[in-house]
């Protein structure tokens, strides 16, 4: 199909207008983005600075207004979804509410922990009544619980392999296999270093200081190896 030469200038003008409109939209979008970034930067700097250098109420209101205008469309869409749910429930029905009950009083201590029973008794001289002179009899007991923290302890395990012999044979008992053979670190110590490093985010140099409080010299280079 032949192209009309007269239509080429019109199509070129149309394409030029489209390109100009897109460029203007891009400039407006970049300007709005820079505006929000500058406001957010000022807000973060104000939180780090002293009270005398914080943002004024007018600046905070400007940031809040820009943020509300940005999220107005999202909130309107969410409101429509809520209206649809309310209409589906019917006029005589209300949405189920999940009341949050606050538990009063002190909660019971963890049941899985080992209990150590310590009995506090009266002295023998106090088990006699000063009024009637009779001996006091046990009628009940009052029990209370508290948490006590037992610090970790280090100990040295000696593997003693007994050796037996006769005139022609020598037999030696074998010890259980270790995670790292010929290492001074047992399985529990290796587990402690790994859990402290990767689960509790304790660097090796901090663990080195913690072992020093136990009187043990374990360098971070050794733990890293």
Q: What is the 3-state secondary structure (H, E, C) of the chain?
A: CCCCCCHHHHHHHHHHHHHHHHHHHHHHHHHHHHHHHHHHHHHHHHHHCCHHHCCCHHHHHHHHHHHHHHCHHHHHHHHHHHHHHHHHHCCCCCCCCCCCCCCCCCCCCCCCCCCCCCCCCCCHHHHECCCCCCECCCCCCCCCCCCCCCCCCCCCCCCCCCEEECCCCEEECCCCCCCCCCCCCCHHHHHHHHHHHHCCCCCHHHHHHHHHHCCCCCCHHHHHC
Cβ atoms of 162 and 172 closer than 8 Å: yes
Asked, for residue 111, whether it belongs to a domain, the answer is no
- Rounded mean pLDDT of 7-17? 74
For position 60, what pLDDT does the model report?
A: 64
Asked, for residue 51, whether it belongs to a domain, the answer is yes
Beta bridge partners of 136: none
Instruction: Look up tokens 């407006």; give the residue.
Output: 28
Within 8 A by CB and 6+ apart from 172, the residues are: 161, 162, 163, 164
Cα–Cα distance, 12 to 30 (Å, whole number):
27
Structure tokens at 43: 């807000």
Angle in degrees, 0-180, between the axes of helices 187-198 and 204-213, rounded to the nearest 10? 130
Q: Is the pLDDT of residue 28 over 70?
A: yes
Q: Is the pLDDT of residue 68 over 80?
A: no
Of the residues 84, 100, 126, the one at which a domain ends:
84
For position 17, what pLDDT does the model report?
A: 83
Asked, for residue 147, whether it belongs to a domain, the answer is no
Domain that holds residue 177: 163-224
Q: Is the pLDDT of residue 55 over 80?
A: no
Structure tokens at 85: 């749910």
pLDDT digits (tens, 9 = 90+) for 144-200: 899 998 888 899 999 999 999 998 999 999 999 999 988 889 999 999 999 999 999
Asked, for residue 126, whether it belongs to a domain, the answer is no
Of the residues 84, 99, 125, the one at which a domain ends:
84
- Rounded mean pLDDT of 104-123? 88
Instruction: Decide which of 16 and 155 is more confident.
Output: 155
Asked, for residue 133, whether it belongs to a domain, the answer is no
Domain count, the chain: 2
For position 187, what pLDDT does the model report?
A: 92
For position 59, what pLDDT does the model report?
A: 62
Q: Is the pLDDT of residue 112 over 70?
A: yes
Asked, for residue 25, whether it belongs to a domain, the answer is yes
Cα–Cα distance, 89 to 7 (Å, whole number):
60
Q: Could you give the percent of the chain with pLDDT greater than 70?
A: 70
Of the residues 55, 84, 113, the one at which a domain ends:
84
Asked, for residue 116, whether it belongs to a domain, the answer is no
Asked, for residue 38, whether it belongs to a domain, the answer is yes
């Amino acid at each position: 199909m032949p192209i009309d030469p007269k239509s080429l200038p019109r199509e070129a003008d149309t394409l030029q207008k489209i390109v100009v409109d897109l460029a203007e939209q891009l400039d407006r979008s970049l300007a709005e983005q820079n505006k929000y970034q500058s406001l957010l930067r000022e807000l973060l700097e104000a939180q780090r600075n002293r009270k005398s250098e914080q943002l004024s109420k007018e600046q905070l209101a400007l940031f809040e207004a820009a943020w509300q205008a940005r999220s107005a469309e999202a909130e309107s869409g969410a409101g429509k979804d809520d209206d649809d749910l309310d209409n589906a429930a019917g006029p005589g029905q209300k949405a189920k509410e999940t009341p949050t009950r606050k538990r009063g009083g002190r909660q019971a201590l963890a049941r899985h922990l080992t209990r150590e029973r310590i009995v506090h008794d009266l002295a023998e001289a106090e088990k006699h009544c000063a009024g009637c002179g009779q001996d006091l009899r046990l009628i009940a007991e009052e029990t209370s619980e508290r948490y006590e923290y037992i610090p970790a302890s280090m100990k040295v395990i000696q593997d003693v392999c007994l050796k037996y012999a006769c005139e022609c044979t020598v037999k030696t008992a074998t010890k259980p296999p270790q995670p790292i053979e010929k290492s001074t670190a047992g399985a529990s110590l290796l587990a402690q270093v790994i859990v402290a490093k990767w689960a509790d985010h304790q660097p090796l140099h901090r663990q080195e200081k913690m072992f020093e409080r136990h009187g043990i010299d374990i360098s971070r280079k050794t733990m890293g190896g």
